[in-house]
Structure 1
Amino acid sequence: MREIVLINLTGPDRPGLTASVTGALARCGAGILDIGQAVVHDTLSFGILVEVPAGSELSILQKELLFVAHGLGQQVRFTSVSEAEYAAWVADQGKPRYIVTLMTRRVSAAQLERVSAITARHGLEIEQIDRLSGRLPLDTPEARSKGCIEFSVRGEPADPAALRAEFLLTAQELNVDIGFQLDTLFRRIRRLAVFDMDSTLIEAEVIDELAKAAGIGDKVAAITERAMRGELDFRASFKERLALLKGLPEEVLEEIGASLRLTEGAEVLFAELRRLGYKTAILSGGFSYFARQVQARLGIDYVFANELEIVDGKVTGVAVEPIVDGQRKADLLRQLAEREGLSLEQTIAVGDGANDLPMLGLAGLGVAFRAKPLVRQSARQAISNLGLDGILYLLGYRDRDGIR
């Protein structure tokens, strides 16, 4: 009668360990039903599920492995598995898989406890845990730290909205970002990424900076804030703010353009996206005058933004149609995907304001980046604690995979 046995080895990682263990199994004619291993700080955890064919002696296999394990400094444990248990395990492979991505400056036990407790409470079983972030010295300043833990979970949450609400609450309380997405093939074959510019690619709202130079900074900033929160219609508020800038000298634009700072992680993200073959675009409710400068700095393929009309060296305050509002951003995303021969599932959209929500909802991966509360709650994914390069973690990339 055939037997099914789970073999677990733990101990110091050793070169040639896998070959030695599987060699012992081969001599006993065992079949491999499942295998997996992890190494944490040079300590190995190695599991193999094997089928011992009828006519073979399980005791001989155990003796062989005990001898090999002793020579390698490993502890070994054998657990019998019934055919019914194995059949139930096989049946589980039809259940959906999800990826939970925990991103933070410094990973803590409290963060891991909350995330794992939430997944368990919603009927999701953790199958695998991986660290995507690189190893950091203990004295790394927090502002330069990055931590990312990825959970592969199995099952179907009964109430996805309640699950997401718990993740959002935990994110706010523990200064952590938590991604939750279905584990599909598209996760690693996305090829178009589009971005808002102001407060996303750059650390400023340009129209507010122009208003400061015109001496009406507070008035315009208040309108901008309400528009980004979704309290005002973007087109109407844009025209209102632009009209207030009438007469601003063109030299002011040059000064502001020279002072713009890229958002943390932007240069790393775009270098990686280029290396991976992505096309990139700016879809901005800001101004093309500044978007083209950002395009040159980051090597972006496409730019769509609002034209800032200048006559006789001064801003006219007149909005040039078509205005790039929320619907226009979504339309442009669809058009770019068609131009590149991609499905929308293969696209990424990133933004911070309410006018970004249409494109965030349309893209295969929509990310609210350091966004207003309404946007963070409405988007499927949100990053508030790391820089833009945190988006790579949502794609499943490890720090060691690239140039970071």
Structure 2
Amino acid sequence: MVCVDTSDAAQQTPQTSTPTNKRDNAHLTVTLAEGLAPAVVTVTGPDRPGVTADFFRALADHDTQLLDVEQAVFRGNLNLAAYIGYRPTDGLILRESLDSVLGGTGMNVTVDVSEEVQQARSRSTHAVVVLGDPVTAEHISAIGRVLADHGANIDGIRGIADYPVTGLELKITVANPAPGGSSELREALAEIAHGSGVDIAIQRAGLANKTKRLICFDVDSTLIQQEVIELLAAHAGREAEVAAVTERAMRGELDFAESLHERVKALAGLDASVIDEVSRAVQLTPGARTTIRTLKRLGYRTGAVSGGFVQVLEPLARELGLDFYRANTLEIVDGKLTGRVIGQVIDREVKAESLKEFAWSNGITLNQTVAVGDGANDIAMLSVAGLGIAFNAKPALREVADATVNHPFLDEVLFMLGISREEIDTADLADGTYRRVPLEHR
């Protein structure tokens, strides 16, 4: 069936319209060949082989010019649109041809010759990623209202994840895209995220968002699920005492270096073999392997900088294939832990300097870096990175982060970088690493 736009503008005969052979605005310059008029032809219906070919054959029979094309298949339904230039004298014949070719396939075809079709396709200024388990229509409705209230338009939406959370990416155009122009919008979206249980990240669209080349992870409670020093302290029977100090340090209530020395004292006299036991007990955060593997496929330099201990981090770094790592060193004398660390303490400032050093040594600028962490010790590192992501973080870190993750899956970092689950799974299937672990909470 062919449905022709019946608006007043669409009912104008092509001869009375005033085609613009060259359309120039802030977004796009489109040039129509001499004597052609613009139109948008849209085809919707059940997808099947040959529909696209038939569509373009009908257009080709009338020597139409293609100016823009977009096609998408969603759950078996095709949506195909073409912005074309056509000879005004062929308008009715073109419509009849499309009807003849596609009318019997169950497809709906609309031809729009109104003035609005000459408006250029918008170039989105920002991308908003929404992640949750679940994501509901109410979430998107609330986000849509906030965007509208701040003069932002939604240009397109696509699904980017169905596991381990649902992920949607909204391409939007912000009314004032200048640096800082979206700050109020960011704050409003953060309020929705805080009160709704979904994670929301907003970033600039375009090439700047695709040039990230280095990512640096915190380790304890970020790359791994535990706090290593607490695992070590359990062997000395002082886990609760050390955990309380750790919690205060991560909230920013204690100087990190001071708290580290205090906690390490509790390990004095332990046999060095406990380090190997703890290394075997460490559990990666769900999605960690997938995240590192995917980033390395994309050419990222990957690394970790930790306020924990290099004796535990080093074998983990080798296993994951990290390009760089840095952590504190436990002093061992005669096979026993002395209760001291040797060398420079990896505090918040050293973490930031480490990120800078890793970037500089790889010829990467700071705006091309990503940092992921969970505690106050990561504040400086996330602040200097091009994109700082707070992962199940303490309030002190969430306040300075560009984006926050509040679900226990490191895969969300990939989604915030615009990498879809489909792309991840396709690559994993190709090299035999694909697996989906059943999620108990679902």
Counterpart contact for 2:122–2:155, Cα < 8 Å: no
| Secondary structure of 2:397's aligned partner | helix
Deviation at 1:74, TM superposition (A): 0.7
- Partner amino acid for 1:80? V
- Partner amino acid for 2:99? L
Deviation at 1:91, TM superposition (A): 8.9
Unaligned runs of 5+ in 2: 1-14, 20-36, 429-433, 435-442
Counterparts of 2:148 and 2:306 in 1: how far apart (Å)? Answer: 40
Deviation at 1:155, TM superposition (A): 2.0
Counterparts of 1:25 and 1:268 in 2: how far apart (Å)? Answer: 45
Higher Cα radius of gyration? 2
Name the TM-score, length of structure 1 as normaliser: 0.89
The corresponding residue for 2:107 is: 74
Counterparts of 1:63 and 1:116 in 2: how far apart (Å)? Answer: 39
The corresponding residue for 1:211 is: 233
Deviation at 1:175, TM superposition (A): 2.3
Counterpart contact for 1:123–1:156, Cα < 8 Å: yes
Deviation at 1:319, TM superposition (A): 3.0
Q: CA offsets per residue over residues 98-126 of structure 1, 9 Å max, x none?
A: 11111123332222222222222222111
Are 1:5 and 2:42 matched, yes or no? no
- Partner amino acid for 2:106? G
Q: 1:311 to 1:202 in 2, by over 3 A?
A: same
Counterpart contact for 1:201–1:266, Cα < 8 Å: yes
- Partner amino acid for 2:171? S
Q: 1:145 to 1:194 in 2, by over 3 A?
A: closer
- Partner amino acid for 1:152? K
Counterparts of 2:361 and 2:104 in 1: how far apart (Å)? Answer: 60
Counterpart contact for 2:62–2:94, Cα < 8 Å: yes
Counterpart contact for 2:229–2:308, Cα < 8 Å: yes
| Secondary structure of 1:57's aligned partner | helix
- Partner amino acid for 2:155? E
- Partner amino acid for 1:304? R
- Partner amino acid for 1:27? D
Could you tell me which of 163, 172, 183 is aligned with 1:161? 183
Q: Give runs of aligned pairs for residues 157-196 of structure 1, distance below 5 A.
A: 160-196=182-218
Counterparts of 1:374 and 1:184 in 2: how far apart (Å)? Answer: 30
Deviation at 1:252, TM superposition (A): 2.5
Q: 1:302 to 1:109 in 2, by over 3 A?
A: same
Q: CA offsets per residue over residues 196-254 of structure 1, 9 Å max, x none?
A: 11001111111122223323222221221121112222222222222333223323322
Name the TM-score, length of structure 2 as normaliser: 0.82
- Partner amino acid for 2:107? Q
Q: 1:235 to 1:156 in 2, by over 3 A?
A: farther
Q: 1:184 to 1:363 in 2, by over 3 A?
A: farther
Could you tell me which of 390, 395, 400 is aligned with 1:373? 395
Counterparts of 1:309 and 1:157 in 2: how far apart (Å)? Answer: 55
Moved more, 58-67 or 109-118: 109-118
Counterpart contact for 1:202–1:260, Cα < 8 Å: yes
The corresponding residue for 1:25 is: 59
Are 1:60 and 2:60 matched, yes or no? no
The corresponding residue for 1:222 is: 244
| Secondary structure of 1:282's aligned partner | strand
Could you tell me which of 276, 281, 303 is aligned with 1:259? 281
Could you tell me which of 156, 163, 167 is aligned with 1:128? 156
The alignment covers a number of residue pairs equal to 389
Could you tell me which of 211, 219, 240 is aligned with 1:197? 219
| Secondary structure of 1:90's aligned partner | coil
| Secondary structure of 2:284's aligned partner | coil
| Secondary structure of 1:378's aligned partner | coil
Moved more, 159-168 or 386-395: 159-168
Counterparts of 1:241 and 1:160 in 2: how far apart (Å)? Answer: 43
Counterparts of 1:163 and 1:231 in 2: how far apart (Å)? Answer: 31
Could you tell me which of 117, 123, 136 is aligned with 2:145? 117
The corresponding residue for 1:139 is: none
Counterparts of 1:347 and 1:192 in 2: how far apart (Å)? Answer: 5
Deviation at 1:34, TM superposition (A): 2.5
Q: CA offsets per residue over residues 37-70 of structure 1, 9 Å max, x none?
A: 222210112222223245x331122111222221
| Secondary structure of 2:223's aligned partner | coil
What fraction of aligned residue pairs are identical, expressed as a percent?
Answer: 37
Counterpart contact for 2:285–2:408, Cα < 8 Å: no
Q: Give runs of aligned pairs for residues 26-105 of structure 1, distance below 5 A.
A: 26-53=60-87, 56-82=89-115, 85=116, 89-90=119-120, 93=123, 97-105=125-133
Could you tell me which of 136, 146, 149 is aligned with 2:165? 146
| Secondary structure of 2:398's aligned partner | helix
Counterpart contact for 2:40–2:117, Cα < 8 Å: no
Counterpart contact for 2:215–2:369, Cα < 8 Å: yes
Counterparts of 2:84 and 2:221 in 1: how far apart (Å)? Answer: 54
Q: CA offsets per residue over residues 137-172 of structure 1, 9 Å max, x none?
A: xxxxxxx64321111111245863332233233223
Q: Give runs of aligned pairs for residues 241-390 of structure 1, distance below 5 A.
A: 241-390=263-412
Counterparts of 2:106 and 2:401 in 1: how far apart (Å)? Answer: 50
Counterparts of 1:183 and 1:51 in 2: how far apart (Å)? Answer: 29
Counterpart contact for 1:131–1:150, Cα < 8 Å: yes
Counterparts of 1:298 and 1:155 in 2: how far apart (Å)? Answer: 39
**Greater relative contact order structure (CA < 8 Å, 6+ sep):** 1
Counterpart contact for 2:271–2:337, Cα < 8 Å: yes
Moved more, 184-193 or 382-391: 184-193
| Secondary structure of 2:222's aligned partner | coil
Counterpart contact for 1:103–1:386, Cα < 8 Å: no
The corresponding residue for 1:137 is: none
| Secondary structure of 1:9's aligned partner | strand
